[in-house]
Amino acid sequence: MQQTIKKLTGFMLGSIRDLAPIIAVILFFQLAIIQQPLPNVAQVLIGVLFVLLGLTFFIHGLEQGLFPIGESMAHAFAKKGSVFWLLIFAFALGFGTTVAEPALIAVAAEAAKVAAVGEMIANTEQAMDEYANGLRLTVAFSVGLAIVLGVFRILKGWPIQWLIIGGYVLVVIMTMFAPVEIIGIAYDSGGVTTSTITVPLVTALGVGLASSIKGRNPMIDGFGLIAMASLTPMIFVMAYGMVMLS
Amino acid sequence: MIGELFTHLWQTVVGTISDVLPIAAIIFGFQFAVIRQPVPNFSKVIFGFIWVLVGLSFFLVGLELALFPLGKLMAQQLTDPVFIAGGEIIEAAKATINLSWQDYGWVYLFAFLIGFSTTIAEPSLIAVAIKANEVSGGAIGVWGLRISVAIGVAVGISLGCYRIVVGDPIHWYIIAGYIIVVIQTMFAPKLIIPLAYDSGGVTTSTVTVPLVAALGLGLAETVPGRSPLIDGFGLIAFASLFPIMSVMAYAQLSQWLTERKQANKSENR
């Protein structure tokens, strides 16, 4: 118990340091440039306190829960030696963590609005919902596929740059053919899919796998899953745009 | 106020649980049905999940109470044509204000600083930095990585704001960025490449996305000739591309410095 408290205090000090730059930037702009009083000072102070506590607890939980479970599962899969189940797990993790991602839901709704305003789909609630849901499923599927490919790469020991650069080439080619309206959203969708809970889990999975397979280096082979998961959505969202909007 | 706060907190906890539930279901489902082995330190892991849940909820409520309203308000105030023109023009003359891209100096500076500071506070980047430090046996410093990623995001977002102001098509920037990444990949130390690629996706989550999206939409709404629906997007793409370059640059720079130090040492002998 005492150890936990000691650790939490350490994390808390870390969180204060992590948040100091944001507070400094906001205060500087508010006081020196915009020169208007801060609205709702009390609310802001409570908010900052919550952010501090939240970050502290999160980092603590990360080291207690998310990292260990990700790694122990990677070791268990490597020991079991069933590639089939490992790949199924990889897909489920990628698909399952993305499909409910709030940032993705917001972006998909926004994209449906763009399509409706541009008169590429009917400007009705139903058409927009259908379009947004289709987009969400597409992105979630592409992230699942990305994790599967990325895990397979770790098993085979392929260098990540060939996959990523190949993906870039595909993105560039598709940009030339995709409808203009979807391009900005497609590029953004790569960044929004990887959430705060997914990143530590997927990282621990990759590093755990690479360190339990002989001949793999956790630094060279363990990282790269997130990169895959940020690349495939761009390709699939553009493909979705080409299929749905033409 | 206090009652409202608790309802808000409770709603966020429920929301976070429904986000975490599918993930937990997948993990424990596979653990029990496929792996069929007891989890080491099972109760510790469960408590870890609870800490993550509670932490994330507090974090989100805090962001909504403090950072998001302030950040969005500031993005609005800074992109307001009246402010940019110097604040002396009356409302009626608003339509006649003619601004060039140089007038948006404060916007670029704000974009740079907010990009940098939100990235430093980004929980998923902290997680990856901890892991990278552990795996590399300390060779990759937690702060070195976080600061170089933050610089990448800062440059990316300010360049993205410039792009919205001048209205260039996004794909030329992204394609140029890809070419630079490919060239850097050929020369960067091998160990850093996967981590550099990962840092692109890691940077943009809980803290950065809402603030940056507000800035992009604010700009696209107020700059004449831009549509928020089309030009408002793209900042996140910039914020995920530039860290790849800055992390590889950081690795190249530190390798170069070590080599030079060693060369100096052998010369002195």
List all residues of chain A from 107 to 126 with a beta carbon under 8 Å from chain B.
110, 113-114, 117-118
Q: Report the complex ipTM.
A: 0.87
Choose among A47, A196, A230: nearest Cβ to B62: A47
Higher pLDDT residue, A2 or B186? B186
Looking at residue B88, its pLDDT comes to: 52
**A10 in B contact zone (CB under 8 Å):** no
Q: Residue written as tokens 């599927």?
A: A141
Looking at residue B84, its pLDDT comes to: 67
Higher pLDDT residue, A14 or A150? A150
* Band of residue B155 on the pLDDT scale cut at 50, 70, 90: very high
List all residues of chain A from 123 to 152 with a beta carbon under 8 Å from chain B.
none
Asked if residue B147 and residue B52 are part of one domain, the reply reads: no
Chain A neighbors of B169, CB-CB under 8 A: 180
Asked if residue B132 and residue B45 are part of one domain, the reply reads: no
Structural domain of B124: 93-268
**B34 in A contact zone (CB under 8 Å):** yes
For A151-167, what is each residue's pLDDT tens digit?
A: 999 999 999 999 999 99
How many helices and strands (H and E) does chain B possess?
12, 0
Asked if residue B181 and residue B55 are part of one domain, the reply reads: no
- Residue B87 forms part of a structural domain: no
**A89 in B contact zone (CB under 8 Å):** yes
- Residue B85 forms part of a structural domain: no
Chain B neighbors of A237, CB-CB under 8 A: none
Asked if residue B115 and residue B45 are part of one domain, the reply reads: no
| Count of C-beta atoms within a 10 Å radius of residue B43 | 8
Choose among B39, B83, B123: nearest Cβ to A58: B123
- Residue B84 forms part of a structural domain: no
Higher pLDDT residue, B36 or A216? A216
Task: Determine whether A105 is exposed, middle or buried from the number of CB atoms within 10 Å of its CB (0-12, 13-18, 19+).
Answer: middle
Lowest-pLDDT range of A118-132, A218-232, B145-159, B222-236: B222-236
Choose among A55, A69, A114: nearest Cβ to B59: A55
Number of domains into which chain B is organized? 2
Q: Do A93 and B26 touch (CB under 8 A)?
A: yes
Mean local confidence (pLDDT), A166-185: 89
Looking at residue B92, its pLDDT comes to: 47
Given a cut of 90, whether residue B195 has pLDDT beyond it is yes
pTM here is 0.87
Asked if residue B154 and residue B31 are part of one domain, the reply reads: no
b/e A41-67 (16+ beta carbons within 10 angstroms → b): eebbebbbebbbbbbbbbbbbbbbbbb
**A245 in B contact zone (CB under 8 Å):** no
% of residues, chain A, pLDDT over 70:
99
Given a cut of 60, whether residue B94 has pLDDT beyond it is no
Q: Do B22 and A97 touch (CB under 8 A)?
A: yes
Asked if residue B115 and residue B222 are part of one domain, the reply reads: yes
For B202-244, what is each residue's pLDDT tens digit?
A: 877 777 777 787 788 778 887 877 877 677 778 888 988 999 9
Distance, in Å, from the CA atom of A9 to the CA atom of A82, rounded to the nearest integer, reads: 42
Domain boundary among B78, B113, B146: B78
Choose among B130, B132, B237: nearest Cβ to A191: B237
Asked if residue B145 and residue B204 are part of one domain, the reply reads: yes
Substitution target in B230, B238, B241, B242 with the highest count of A β-carbons within 10 Å is B230
Looking at residue A172, its pLDDT comes to: 93
Asked if residue B74 and residue B119 are part of one domain, the reply reads: no
Asked if residue B172 and residue B211 are part of one domain, the reply reads: yes
The conformation of residue A195, written as its DSSP 8-state character, comes to -
**A83 in B contact zone (CB under 8 Å):** no
Distance, in Å, from the CA atom of B261 to the CA atom of B51, rounded to the nearest integer, reads: 45
Asked if residue B134 and residue B240 are part of one domain, the reply reads: yes
Higher pLDDT residue, A184 or B196? B196
For A117-164, what is each residue's pLDDT tens digit?
A: 777 778 888 888 898 899 889 999 999 999 999 999 999 999 999 999
Compute the mean pLDDT over every residue in chain B, rounded to the nearest whole number.
Answer: 84
Using CA atoms, how far residue A200 sits from A65, A225, B202, in Å, is 10, 11, 10
- One-letter amino acid at A199 equals V
Q: Do B113 and A53 touch (CB under 8 A)?
A: no
* Band of residue B76 on the pLDDT scale cut at 50, 70, 90: confident
- Residue B128 forms part of a structural domain: yes
* Band of residue B171 on the pLDDT scale cut at 50, 70, 90: confident
Tokens standing for residue B254: 């530190």
b/e A131-145 (16+ beta carbons within 10 angstroms → b): bbeebbebbbbbbbb
* Band of residue A198 on the pLDDT scale cut at 50, 70, 90: confident
- Residue B86 forms part of a structural domain: no
Domain boundary among B26, B48, B78: B78
**A24 in B contact zone (CB under 8 Å):** yes
Looking at residue B85, its pLDDT comes to: 67
Given a cut of 90, whether residue B73 has pLDDT beyond it is no
Asked if residue B133 and residue B243 are part of one domain, the reply reads: yes
Substitution target in A104, A219, A234 with the highest count of B β-carbons within 10 Å is A219
Three-state SS string over B91-108 comes to HHHHHHCCCCHHHHHHHH
Given a cut of 60, whether residue B17 has pLDDT beyond it is yes
Tell me which chain A residue has its CA closest to the CA of residue B150: A21
Looking at residue B254, its pLDDT comes to: 85
Domain boundary among B54, B78, B102: B78
- Residue B6 forms part of a structural domain: yes
Asked if residue B54 and residue B160 are part of one domain, the reply reads: no
- Residue B226 forms part of a structural domain: yes
- Residue B35 forms part of a structural domain: yes
